[in-house]
Amino acid sequence: MIFDTHCHIYDDKYEEGIDKVVETCLMNGISLMMIPGDNINNSKKAIDIASRFEEVYCAIGIHPEEVDSIDLEEGIKQLKELYLTSNKIKAIGEIGLDRYWVKDEKTINKQKEFFIAQIELANELHLPIIVHDREAHGLTLEILKKHTPKYGGVLHCFSGSLEYMNEILKMGFYIGLDGPVTWKKAEAPKLVARNIPLEKLLVETDSPYLTPHPYRGKINYPYYVKYVIDEIAKIRENNSREIEEATYENGKRLFGIR
């Protein structure tokens, strides 16, 4: 049983169409998928896919790179309205901070406002959060400590040190690992894979991005998550089945899926 807990299969890169992508995933060993939204429009697409496939769940949210796409108040209002339209929405995400693409303080401040408001929304709706943190570890931790998510969450595509991992785990959060753990020179995620308590690990693809070895450079698919699982198993000297099952149960627990 495999659960890809983070994939953007509404992306235009999938020329074959969403239905074909989902069907191919289900034929290739994927049991569950979580599709996060990154803006209002894509959150709607995620809801639509989840409503059509039993195995697909979704999250809604405004990504830090999308904070200029909508006014904050209007964004929160629309997310609240969207939440009422589906019982497959299991998280607010992906939300957070991105200092890799964004350097100016004005936009960083806007990212902070969106992040905090969406944590509060998640608390109000009794939902966990899916956090995107790129080159903003210190600030992310500061916000999470000050505005505690009451229903937990995952730090997706984790790229930090063991020290940062421990801080995140202390908050009761899960850690998501994806394609980079399979890349030869990516030492940080390999170290995390070796040391993380298994009950706190999620596996994900971030499809269509971050494609694992041996398909790196090509478009990513949720079923390639098996390469992520195999690499983690190899690093930890577990068998893949153990990683598969633990991460499947962890994902269901975090997102409240029965």
Stretch that binds Zn ion, among 14-22, 121-129, 194-202, 203-211 (CB under 5 A): 203-211
Minimum separation from the CB atom of position 66 to Zn ion (A): 11
Give the tokens for residue 110.
């806007």
Q: Which of residues 204-233 bind Zn ion (CB under 5 A)?
A: 206
Which residues touch 165 (CB under 8 Å, ≥6 apart)? 158, 175, 192, 195, 196
Minimum separation from the CB atom of position 6 to Zn ion (A): 6
Minimum separation from the CB atom of position 237 to Zn ion (A): 29
Whichever of 183 and 198 has its CB closer to Zn ion, that residue is 183
Give the tokens for residue 207.
């499809």
Whichever of 45 and 198 has its CB closer to Zn ion, that residue is 45
# chain residues binding Zn ion, by CB under 5 A: 1
Stretch that binds Zn ion, among 66-74, 175-183, 202-210, 212-220 (CB under 5 A): 202-210
Instruction: List the beta bridge partners of residue 4.
Output: 33
Minimum separation from the CB atom of position 36 to Zn ion (A): 6
Whichever of 66 and 206 has its CB closer to Zn ion, that residue is 206
Minimum separation from the CB atom of position 8 to Zn ion (A): 6
Whichever of 8 and 190 has its CB closer to Zn ion, that residue is 8
Give the HSE-up count for residue 11: Cα atoms under 13 Å, Cβ half-sphere: 17
- CA atoms of 225 and 179, how far apart (whole Å): 8
Give CA separation, 242 vs 6, 52, 223, 234, 247, in Å. 20, 30, 17, 11, 8
Range list of β-strands (E), the chain: 2-4, 30-35, 56-60, 89-98, 129-134, 153-155, 174-177, 201-203
Tokens 């992040």 label which residue?
Answer: 115
The helix or strand, by DSSP H or E, that contains position 153, with its residue range, turns out to be strand 153-155
Whichever of 8 and 226 has its CB closer to Zn ion, that residue is 8
Amino acid, single-letter form, for residue 236: R
- CA atoms of 35 and 6, how far apart (whole Å): 6
Whichever of 143 and 210 has its CB closer to Zn ion, that residue is 210
Residue nearest to Zn ion (CB): 206
Stretch that binds Zn ion, among 96-104, 140-148, 184-192, 201-209 (CB under 5 A): 201-209
Which residues are at the interface with Zn ion (CB under 5 A)?
206
